[in-house]
């Protein structure tokens, strides 16, 4: 009986102590003393709240270190989510930590989304389609491990994107050895439904323009520029001005003065020139 009473008193004492520490932690957080608040929350086992304080502080090294020490799924996810809002693509440690934390937390849907973001970055910022294909493959592997009921549809979506990216990688390799197959593959990509969700269609069309320009088939080069314009894609981010000027000069008309823009009348005039044999091959 004494033991039970003693245990009860001890338990009440512990609860009161934890409540005091919790209040101190809240106060420190409110005052912007995030490091102290983190320590106090950690002291009473509230690891997720402790991580949120570190996130408020914004110390990447501290966040990574705490997540590794905490070994808590919720903390792993909080840390990885935060790191995605930093310049992770220029910090290999942050990138590796995001992958490791989502993996340890078994947050495979989050992991898949991260790898998909990696693929998109490689395309948008660097036009590194081979690296993008690698990242997309990792995204698919992550989705396969997901317990989500919607994973089948998600996997199909990612596999479709991977196919278009991989086809473009293969097509570019065929430019010299099998140009006919390259043209066929690029046309397939350009006309594929929702292709822009997988890659930059402008890159594919620009590759065709550059190929035809290089072999002096200016008529075909111009036709692909027109295709680019008809899809609402600006020309200049994808093609050197020298190439644009050369193709338009072959058509006997002035090149567009602004990025990707042509006046309707000028476009019609160019079309008439090309149809009338104004273009050179």
**Which residue ranges make up each domain of the chain?**
200-281
Cβ within 8 Å of residue 173, ≥6 positions away: none
**What pLDDT does residue 3 have?**
42
- pLDDT on residue 253: 82
- pLDDT for 257 beyond 80: no
Q: Give per-residue pLDDT as tens, 149-167.
A: 888 999 999 999 999 999 9
pLDDT at 169 over 70: yes
Taking residues 225-230, report their average pLDDT: 95
Residue 235 CB neighbours (<10 A): 23
* pLDDT on residue 265: 39
What's the chain's average pLDDT? 89
Alpha-carbon distance of 184 to 174, in angstroms, equals 11
pLDDT of 261 higher than 50: no
Is residue 89 over pLDDT 70?
A: yes
User: What pLDDT, on a 0 to 100 scale, did the predictor assign at position 150?
Assistant: 84
Tell me: the pLDDT tens digits for 111-152? 999 999 999 999 999 999 999 999 999 999 999 999 988 889
What DSSP character marks residue 150? Answer: T
Strand partners, 258: 261
Specify the pTM.
Answer: 0.85
């Amino acid at each position: 009986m004494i033991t039970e009473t003693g245990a009860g008193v001890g338990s009440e004492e512990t609860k009161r102590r934890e409540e005091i520490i919790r209040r101190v932690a809240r106060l420190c957080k409110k005052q912007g003393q995030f490091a102290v608040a983190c320590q106090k929350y950690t002291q009473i086992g509230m690891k997720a709240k402790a991580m949120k304080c570190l996130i408020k502080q914004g110390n990447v090294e501290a966040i990574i270190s705490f997540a590794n020490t905490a070994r808590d799924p919720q903390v792993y996810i909080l840390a990885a989510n935060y790191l995605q809002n930093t310049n992770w693509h220029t910090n290999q440690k942050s990138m590796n930590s995001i992958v490791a934390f989502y993996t340890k937390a078994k947050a495979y849907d989050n992991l898949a989304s991260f790898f998909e973001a990696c693929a998109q970055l490689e395309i948008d910022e660097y036009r590194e389609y081979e690296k993008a294909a690698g990242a997309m493959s990792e995204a698919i592997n992550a989705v396969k491990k997901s317990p989500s009921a919607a994973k089948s549809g998600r996997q199909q979506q990612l596999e479709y994107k991977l196919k278009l990216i991989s086809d473009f990688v293969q097509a570019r390799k065929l430019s010299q050895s099998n140009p006919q197959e390259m043209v066929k593959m690029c046309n397939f990509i350009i006309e594929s439904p929702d292709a822009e969700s997988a890659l930059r269609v402008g890159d594919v069309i620009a590759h065709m323009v550059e190929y035809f320009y290089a072999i002096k088939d200016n008529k075909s080069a111009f036709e692909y520029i027109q295709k680019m314009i008809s899809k609402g894609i600006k020309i200049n981010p994808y093609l050197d001005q020298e190439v644009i000027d050369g193709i338009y000069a072959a058509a006997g008309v002035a090149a567009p003065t602004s990025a990707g823009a042509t006046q309707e009348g000028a476009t019609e005039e160019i079309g008439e020139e090309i149809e009338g044999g104004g273009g050179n091959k």
